[in-house]
Amino acid sequence: MTTYRDAVRTALQTLLREDKRAFLMGEDVGRYGGPYAVSKGLLEEFGEERVRDTPLCESTFVGAGIGAALGGMRPIVEVMTVNFSLLALDQVVNNAAVMRYMSGGQFQVPIVVRMATGGGKQIAAQHSHSLENWYAHIPGIKVLAPATVQDAHDMLLAAVEDPDPVFVFEHQMLYGIDGELDTTATPPSPWKALVRRSGTDVSLIAYGGSMHKALGAAEELGKGGISAEVVDLRSLRPLDRGTLLDSVRRTHRAVVIDEAWKTGSLASEISAILAEDAFYDLDAPIERVCTLEVPMPYAKHLEEAAIPQVDRIVDAAKRSMGGD
Amino acid sequence: MDISRDHALELLRDMIRIRRLEEKSAELYSKQKIRGFLHLYIGEEAVGVGAMHALREDDNIVATYREHGQALVRGIPAAQIMAEMYGKANGCSGGRGGSMHLFSAERNFYGGHAIVGGGLPIAVGLALADKMKGQSRVTACFFGDGATDEGEFHESLNLAALWQLPVLFLCENNEYAMGTALWRHVSDRNIANNPPAYGVPADSVNGMDVVAVERAVHNEAELVRETSKPRFLELKTYRFRAHSMYDAELYRSKEEVDEHKKDDPIEGFQKRLLKEGLVEQSDIDTIEDAAAKEIADAVEFAEQGEWEPIEDITRHTYARNLS
C-alpha cells in the first residue's frame, strides 16, 4: 500500500529522473521537504537547481514558471495551497491561459501547477478554500483533481506530458490515505470521468476529497437497499459530459457533491449539463450537496456542518428517491 | 558623434520607420480600420531603436502594450504588424492579439503584454530556462514607470537577483502611469534607487538620445551576459501622444507636451547628424521615401489580408481542440 503523498512523490521522482527539462519549484519544496511532505528527499536526490525553494511571491514564481515553460522547460510549480494561489491569479488568467491563443499558436505554456485544496483541518476561513471551479472556468488551461492514490501518480505524469497549462488540485485530507499504486499499468485517460462504484438507483457525482464521502454514502445507502453509483469527475476542465450523462441516463437521479460554495460552483455547471442534455431522463430534481455559504468556521462542529458529509449526501440521495 | 555614418543612418532610419508607422496607425484608427486600444510610441522611438540595436539576435524580448516600435526594429515586418492591427489572419499573431499583443517566435519576441507588470515574471522565467539550459542569452524586459508600483516588479527584481538570472530590466520612464504623473505614483521619483535594494545594479540614461541609449543598453546587456546576473536601466523618455486613442489628456498641459517636443529624438538626432556633416538632407529624404513606401506596402498587405474563418475560432485555445 502507498499513500497519496508518496504517490505524488513517486511521480515527481520519475519526472525528474526521466525528463531533463522538468524541475520543481515552490515555497518550502526543498529544505523543508514540502509543506505536506510530498517532496521530502527530492532536494537530496536532484539538487537545488531542480528542486527550487522560492521566495514568498506566488505571482512571480508562477509567472516565472510560465516564462520557463515558454523557454522550453517543463516546470512543476507547487503553490502551497489554493488559498495562496489567489495571489497568482493574474499570471494564470492573463498569461498561462492565453499565450497560445493570443500569439496565434506561436507559443505554448507547458507548465504544471500543483496545489493543495479543501477544508477539514480546522484551519479556518483563509486556509480552507475549494476554488477549483474558478480555474475550471478558464479556457486555455486544464484542471485535474485526483481522488485516488493511483490518480495522484498517473495524473501528474500526464499533466507534465501535456503541452498546455495543467492545474492539479490535491485535496489536503487525501495526502495520508492508502491505496494500491501500480506504476506499470497503462493508466486510463486523465480527462475522462470514471465510475468508481456501479449502481442503478441514483448517481452520486463528485471529485477530489468529496469522492470518498460519496463512496461512504453509497455504502450507507446500500444498507437501506438503495443502489448508488459513484462517478468521479477526475478532470474538471475539460468535463467529461459523456460519462456523466451516461450514468444519469441509467439511474435517472443525480446528486452532485462539491466542497465549493453552491453559488456558481462546478455543481451548478454539472446540474446545468444534466438539465440541458438529460432533462427527460431525470425522474427527480437534481440535488446539490455543497459547502454552506459562510466563510469556513474554525470550530470543529461548525466546520463539519459547513462541509459536505456522508449524512448530507445520504439525505440528498433519499430525497431524490422520493423518501425523506 | 562617435558613430559611423552607416550606423547613424540605420538608427535614424529605424526611428523614422517607427514614427511613420505610428502616424499611419493613428490615421487608420480614425478611419476605423484599426480598433481596440492603440498606444503610440511617438516620442519614445530612441528607446526602442537604441535598445534593439544593442541587443543580440537571439536575446529574448518581453515588451508592453506600447510595443510597435520594438517589434518593428526587432524584425517583425511592418506589413505583419499592420495586418495584426487590422485583425487579419496574416498578422504576426494571426489577428488574435491586436496592437497590444504582437508576438514572433522566430524573433524571440514574447509579446506584447497588457497587464502592467505582468511581463516581468515571464522574463525572469525565460532567463531561468536559459540558465538551466546553459544558454548565454539575455532576456530584455521592457516596462513603464507605472510597472514599478506593482508588487511583481519588486518580486521579480528579488527573484532574478536571488537566483542570479540574466535579465535586463529596461524601465521606459515616460513620466506617466497612464494619466498619473510620476510624482503622484511613486514615493521616490528616482526610479533607479529601487533595484539596488535587491542587489540589482541600476543606472539611468537619456532616453531621447538614441546613441546614448544604444551604448547604455549594450553595456548593460554585455554585463548581464558576462555575469549572468540581472541589471536595471532606466530610460528617461516622454510620450508625445495621448496614452491611447481614448485619452483626452486632461492630466497634462499642452505647454508641458510642447516643452518636451523640443527634445524630439528624431529631430534632435537629424540636426546633430547634419551639423556634424555625417549625413546630408538627401540621405534623410531617401530614408523618408523608403519609410513611406514600407508603410504604404504594409497597409496594402493588411487590406489584402484574409479574415480568419469564424469556424476556426477555437483553434489555439489548446494544442488540440478539446472534445
CA torsion sign, B169 to B173 to B178 to B182? Answer: positive
Angle of helix B265-275 versus helix B5-30 axis, rounded to 10: 150
Indicate yes or no: CB of A100 within 8 angstroms of CB of B127.
Answer: no
The single residue listed with the C-alpha cell 538620445 is: B209
Indicate yes or no: CB of B132 within 8 angstroms of CB of A23.
Answer: yes
How much is the average pLDDT of A9-17? 98
Q: For residue A150, is it left (φ>0), alpha (ψ between -120 and 50) or beta? A: alpha
Rg (CA), chain B: 19
CB atoms closer than 10 angstroms to residue A28: 16
Q: Select the residue of B103, B121, B155 nearest A67 (Cβ to Cβ).
A: B121
pLDDT at B245: 86
Grid cell of B276 as nine digits = 556634424
Fold of domain B5-300: Rossmann fold (3.40.50)
| Distance spanning both ends of chain A, measured CA to CA | 39
pLDDT(A323) > 70: no
pLDDT digits (tens, 9 = 90+) for A175-222: 999 999 999 999 999 999 999 999 999 999 999 999 999 999 999 999
pLDDT band at B1 (very low <50, low <70, confident <90, very high): confident
pLDDT at B321: 81
* Residue percentage of chain B with pLDDT more than 90: 97
On chain B, the residues whose CB falls within 8 A of the CB of A142 are 318
Q: Select the residue of B111, B115, B162 nearest A55 (Cβ to Cβ).
A: B162
Query: Does A127 qualify as catalytic in the annotation?
Result: yes
Amino acid at A88: A
Residues 72-131 of A with CB under 8 A from B: 72-73, 75, 90-91, 94-95, 99-108
How much is the average pLDDT of B196-210? 98
pLDDT at A324: 52
Q: Which domains does chain A have, with CATH numbers?
A: 2-179 (3.40.50.970), 194-321 (3.40.50.920)
pLDDT at B2: 87
pLDDT(B306) > 60: yes
Grid cell of B313 as nine digits = 475560432
Amino acid at B129: A
On chain A, the residues whose CB falls within 8 A of the CB of B130 are 71
On chain A, the residues whose CB falls within 8 A of the CB of B92 are 104
Domain ranges of chain B: 5-300
| Alpha helix (H) residue ranges in B38-88 | 45-54, 68-74, 78-86
Distance from CA of B34 to the nearest CA of A (A): 17
Q: Is B128 on the interface with A (CB under 8 A)?
A: yes
Q: Select the residue of B124, B129, B322 nearest A72 (Cβ to Cβ).
A: B129
Q: Which of A127, A137, A161, A252 is catalytic?
A: A127
Indicate yes or no: CB of A68 within 8 angstroms of CB of B92.
Answer: no
pLDDT(A172) > 60: yes
Q: Select the residue of A60, A163, A191 nearest B124 (Cβ to Cβ).
A: A60
- The mean pLDDT of chain A is 97
pLDDT at B322: 76
Task: Report DSSP letters for B104-146, one per residue.
Answer: BTTTTEEEEE-STTTHHHHHHHHHHHHHHHT----EEEEEEGG
How much is the average pLDDT of B183-199? 96
Q: Is B286 exposed, middle or buried (0-12, 13-18, 19+ CB in 10 A)?
A: middle
Distance from CA of A100 to the nearest CA of B (A): 6
In chain A, the residue whose alpha carbon lies closest to the alpha carbon of B160 is A64
Residues 217-246 of A with CB under 8 A from B: 238
On chain A, the residues whose CB falls within 8 A of the CB of B315 are 105
Order the strands of the A22-26 sheet from edge to edge. Answer: A51-53, A22-26, A74-81, A112-117, A166-171, A142-144, A235-237
Predicted TM-score (pTM) of the model is 0.97
**Phi, psi values for residue B87, rounded to 5°:** 85, 20
pLDDT band at B304 (very low <50, low <70, confident <90, very high): very high
pLDDT(B323) > 70: no
pLDDT digits (tens, 9 = 90+) for B23-35: 999 999 999 999 9
Distance from CA of A191 to the nearest CA of B (A): 10
Q: Which of A18, A44, A49, A58 is catalytic?
A: A58
d(CA B183, CA B237): 15
Distance from CA of B182 to the nearest CA of A (A): 24
On chain B, the residues whose CB falls within 8 A of the CB of A104 are 91-97, 103, 316
Distance from CA of B49 to the nearest CA of A (A): 23
pLDDT(A237) > 60: yes
Indicate yes or no: CB of B110 within 8 angstroms of CB of A107.
Answer: yes
pLDDT digits (tens, 9 = 90+) for B110-142: 999 999 999 999 999 999 999 999 999 999 999
